[in-house]
Structure 1
Amino acid sequence: MSVATFRRAVAALALLLPATAVADDAVPGPGPVQALRCGKLFDSRGGRMLGPHTVLVRDGRIESVSSGRAEVAGAAEIDLGAHVCLPGWTDLHVHLGSESSPQSYSEGFRLDPVDFAFRAVGYAEKTLMAGFTSVRDLGGEVAPHLRDAINQGLVKGPRIFAAGKSIATTGGHADPTNGYNSMLSHLMGPPGPTEGVINSVEDARQAVRQRYKDGSDVIKITATGGVLSYARSGDAPQFMTDEIRAIVETANDYGYRVAAHAHGTEGMKRAVEGGVTSIEHGTHMSDEVMRLMKQHGTWYVPTIYAGRFVADKAKEDGYFPEIVRPKAATIGAQIQGTFARAYKAGVPIAFGTDMGVGPHGDNAREFLYMVEAGMPAAEALQAATVRAAEVLGVDDQGVIEAGRRADIIALAADPLEDIEAVLDVRFVMKDGEVFRAPAAR
């Protein structure tokens, strides 16, 4: 789908949406200067909750952060005195172009790219209103175009770091022709680096360069089999180490970081040794892999939500194809336990859900699962703020500090006292623009 086609689609949809479709009440105008009066403020660097603060926002940036109620002449005040302010969250693993359902496997044959684009607009807005001001979209051709539409103000959504098409090997987790019959396969021909499918070091370099040409922000590889792909193995390694290393080296030339989907141990070892930035899912992560990750500084993005979701849906007849169902039942159920072991071992962890597997907008439930598995609430919140910014390689978000982006959210209660407070987001600001505000008291 061309950029022009996508933009026409989202612009048409934007005309049909009311200006305050999701906001709780009238949203304050941006004004030249905004003063947020926070009842509490989460210090994401220190992992601690502070008392009342005033956050001054000008031109989309945080100008100052003061304890108590600082007087600011001429500022438009936003009363969050009964709320807890935090940096906007980042979900490092989403797929905004889709959402799991029993029809998912047939829709690719029945729907056009524009159909998925229209759906993605709604998914993006739900994600933003849930408190996620940034996401890393790890696989989907819609995402780069959706990113551009959001940046142009055509639709509402989080800041998107888009991978575009994931890079796979023939028959691998992101081979787009998996499950096609012989006639379709013959008509379409074998996919190659342009379609994100490689089988050599040369292909690997070409695939990264194609992602650059397509406007990606990050590179995603599928280092092992996957749960939901139409294939038997969910954990077999699917790249050779030299292929991964070629992807990483070429990605570095363009300033890209590389995220590796991986469930099996051998595939993870190859990915870590090949130099990837993060391991996604990591189901069968061994003690050896954990040691390697700490040695190489490789991040772990666990996606507990997705594991629990697919394990539950595997119990339902007809939700998944029969070739997928046993993988969903066995692999999905293990991720939370792997997370608990990795946390205890000191593996660096950042926040990601694999949303699109589950329903968009429910991303914050991952916090509950992280805390349930043994991570303190403060560290779970850091994983989605300052730690996520480290994974992205950016230094202007994830903290409420002078000079940083004005990405600020507010909750009705203190999540350090009750982690379920993350499910009740009352205020959302991204780049100084208010998208959601609490009802006037």
Structure 2
Amino acid sequence: MPLFLPLALQVAPPTPGPVPPPSVTTYILAGRVIDRPGRPPRGATTIVVRDGKVAELIDGHQTPPDRTNVIDLSSQTVLPGLIDAHVHLSSDRAGQEGLLAEFTEGAQMHAYEALWNAQKTLRAGFTTVRNLGDDGATLALRDAVARGWVTGPRIVDAGRSISTTSGHMDARLGLNDELRDHPHTDNLCDGPEACRKAVRLQIGRGADVIKIATTGGVNSRIGAGLGAQMFDDEAKAIVETAHLYGKKVAVHAHGADGIKVAMAAGADSIEHGTLMDEEAIAVMKKAGAFYVPTLSTVNGYKERIARDPNAYPPEVRKKIDWRISITGKALERAAPAGVRIAFGTDAGVSKHGRNADEFELLVQHGLTPVQAIQAATVNAAELLGLSGEIGTLERGKAADLIAVAGDPLADVRVLKSVAFVMKGGAVVPLTP
């Protein structure tokens, strides 16, 4: 046996790593603080931030002796960084424009688009998002943000969304036969065993959460409508497999039948829920599942149609017009019944960076301002499994916070104009 290693295999002696920077403490002088949404706000408060976390909240305004690292927000209302539990970062386009982009732009461009949209979202005050399905660009972005390579919100990512063949997540819908081999199909499953495999594939890709569709969708080009498109045993196989690996399951479901299929399987959240009936509301409440209404989609639809009446093919446009007419009705029934609400916009259908438009719609359809803020903080943090890190301003949690002029407890529209954003103790520039 040789007593030496080839040069290429020789192991170099360890070198010292970078010297960690000295601990930095920042004093934030807040005029008013909604530190734990749902509880009475604090008055003038000093928020002490150290090493990216909230170290202390002190009544009144205090400054360090040398008056360094002081941020004066004494005329502002400060609250936790906001959370959008339903976005699609790799696209800000939909309809025919989005379909064309799938064939004219590559994965690299989609990755840059995801970064661009993520930064718009962060500047709007959303320091955490749950990305519910794309071609994979956001998985890499999630890791790049976590490494500090780029600036963006904290990302919980689903990889590719799962559905049955010809279900809402089948990217081949509406394509001619010559193009049907182009899109990915490894997110499609038929039968329990195939559905278990589809979940394991996304987990192997690094997904934090599993997204499935038990019903048809508004944007998908299929004549089967918005009813159930997945059998009970398929949904059960998906949810059981995801939970086996410690992953929650978010379910795209419009029709009440698909909601009930998801709830019988033990899913964690229902996205959209447009046709939720009394039975679906009852089973969701009993299960403690979250409802993510995604009301902002109507804004995206209206704006695109105003710009181009032919933005969507006729079979999709018909569903869009229906969706606009019925939006918010399910929330008006679900919230008073005690179903837990989490904030989500479906940004990508609506515009990234305009996520706070959802607050106004939530209040229009029955939530109080404080309930709407809870949906985007404490509730969304619980849905994402991150209550120990985000959602409130408490000692030991991430220093994710925003500031606005005015009182969002009186008028949630002030959240559309965020004056200050901090994520993980770092101030976020509000201009590109």
TM-score by length of 2: 0.90
Deviating 4+ runs (over 6 angstroms):
none
Aligned partner of 2:219 in structure 1 is 228
**Hey, what's the Cα distance between the residues in 1 that align with 2:254 and 2:422?**
36
Q: After superposition, what is the alpha-carbon deviation per residue over 1:240-294, rounded to whole angstroms, capped at 9, x for unaligned? A: 1111111111111211000000001101100011111000000000011000000
Cα distance, 1:436 vs. partner?
Answer: 3.4
- Does the 8 Å CA contact 1:314/1:325 hold for their aligned counterparts? no
1:67 and 1:417 map into 2 onto residues whose CA distance is 23
Structure 2 vs 1, CA of residues 264 and 365 (structure 1 numbering), >3 Å: closer, same or farther?
same
Q: Which residue of 1 aligns with 2:141?
A: 146
**Which residue of the partner structure matches residue 56 of structure 2?**
64
* SS of equivalent to 2:351: coil
Q: Following superposition of structure 1 onto structure 2, how do residues 236-251 of structure 1 map, counting pairs within 5 Å?
A: 236-251=227-242
SS at match of 2:161: coil
Closer/same/farther in 2, CA of residues 232 and 437 from structure 1, 3 Å limit: closer
1:373 aligns to 2:368 (yes or no): no
CA 30–47 in structure 1, closer or farther in 2 if over 3 Å, else same: farther
SS of residue matched to 1:436: coil
Task: Give the match for residue 408 of structure 2.
Answer: 415
Residue in 1 that maps onto 2:426: 433
| Alignment pair present for 1:396 and 2:382 | no
Match of 1:33 among 8, 20, 25: 25
Show the counterpart of 1:86. Answer: 79
- Look up the match of 2:266: 275
What is the CA–CA distance in structure 1 between the aligned matches of 2:392 and 2:65, rounded to whole Å? 25
Tell me how far apart the structure 2 counterparts of residues 86 and 35 of structure 1 sit (CA, whole Å): 15
Q: Which residue of 2 aligns with 1:116?
A: 110
Q: Which sits farther off after the overlay, 418-427 or 362-371? A: 418-427
Distance 2:315 2:143 in 1: 37
Aligned equivalent of 1:17: none
| Residue 202 (structure 1) shift | 0.5
Contact 2:37 2:370 in 1 (8 A): no
Query: Quick one: which amino acid aligns to residue 407 of structure 2?
Result: D
RMSD: 1.9
CA-CA distance at 1:314 after TM superposition: 5.1
Deviates more, 1:93-102 or 1:282-291: 93-102
Does 1:155 pair with 2:150? Answer: yes
Write the letter of the residue equivalent to 2:47: V
Q: 1:191 to 1:61 in 2, by over 3 A?
A: closer
- Residue 47 of structure 1 contacts residue 379 of structure 1 at CA under 8 Å; is this kept in 2? no
CA distance in 2, matches of 1:281, 1:366: 13
Query: Partner letter of residue 419 of structure 2?
Result: R
Aligned length: 406
Deviation, 1:71, is 4.5
| CA deviation string 1:321-357 (max 9, x = no partner) | 1121001110243121211111122111010000010
Map Cα deviations across residues 102-131 of structure 1 (whole Å, 9 max, x no partner). Answer: 511221111111111111111110000000
Offset, 1:307: 3.4
SS at 1:48 equivalent: coil
| 2-structure distance, mates of 1:362, 1:46 | 24
- Tell whether 2:248 aligns with 1:257: yes
- Code of the residue aligned with 2:426 in structure 1: it is E
Cα distance in 1 for residues equivalent to 2:294 and 2:225: 16
For residues 430 and 298 of structure 2, the distance between their equivalents in structure 1, rounded to whole angstroms, comes to 33
What code does the residue aligned with 2:235 have?
I
C-alpha deviation, 1:153, in angstroms? 2.1
Identity of aligned residues (%): 42
Which residue does 1:344 correspond to in 2?
336
Residue of structure 1 in register with 2:69 after alignment: 76
> Secondary structure, in 3 states, of the residue corresponding to 2:170?
coil
Deviations 1:366-388 (A, max 9, x none): 00111111211011001100010
CA displacement, residues 34-71 of structure 1 (integer Å, 9 cap, x when unaligned): 11110000033434332111111111111111111235
Q: Secondary structure at the match of 1:345?
A: coil
Following superposition, the deviation at residue 30 of structure 1 comes to: 10
Which secondary structure state, in structure 2, belongs to the residue aligned with residue 66 of structure 1? strand
Q: Distance in 2 between matches of 1:434 and 1:346?
A: 37
Residue number in structure 1 paired with 2:298: 307
1:180-211 Cα shifts (integer Å, max 9, x gaps): 211223x55x965xx21000111111111101
Deviation per CA, 1:132-172, whole angstroms, max 9, x where unpaired?
Answer: 00000000121101111212222221000000100010001
- In structure 2, C-alpha distance between the alignment counterparts of 1:308 and 1:424, rounded to whole Å: 18
> Does structure 2 conserve the Cα–Cα contact (< 8 Å) formed by 1:260 and 1:276?
yes
The corresponding residue for 1:182 is 177
8 Å Cα contact 2:38-2:371 kept in structure 1: no
Shift of 1:359: 1.3
Letter aligned with residue 268 of structure 1: I
Q: What amino acid maps onto 2:25 in structure 1?
A: V
Q: Does 1:132 align with 2:123?
A: no
1:319 lines up with 2:314 in the alignment: no
Q: Secondary structure at the match of 1:39?
A: strand
Residues 292 and 312 of structure 1: CA distance in aligned 2, closer, same or farther (over 3 Å): farther
Q: Contact 1:314/1:326 (CA < 8 Å) preserved in 2?
A: no
**Superposed counterparts of 1:15-30, under 5 Å:** none
* In structure 2, distance between residues paired with 1:234 and 1:53: 53
Q: Which has the larger radius of gyration?
A: 2
Is contact 2:32-2:44 (8 Å) kept? yes
Cα separation, 2, equivalents of 1:330 and 1:50: 43
The residue that corresponds to 1:12 in the other structure is none
Counterpart-to-counterpart distance in 2, 1:236 and 1:299: 20
CA shift digits 1:73-100 (9 cap, x unpaired): 5661110101110000000000000012
Q: Which residue of 1 aligns with 2:12?
A: none
TM-score, normalised with respect to structure 1: 0.88
Separation of aligned partners in 2, 1:54 and 1:71: 8
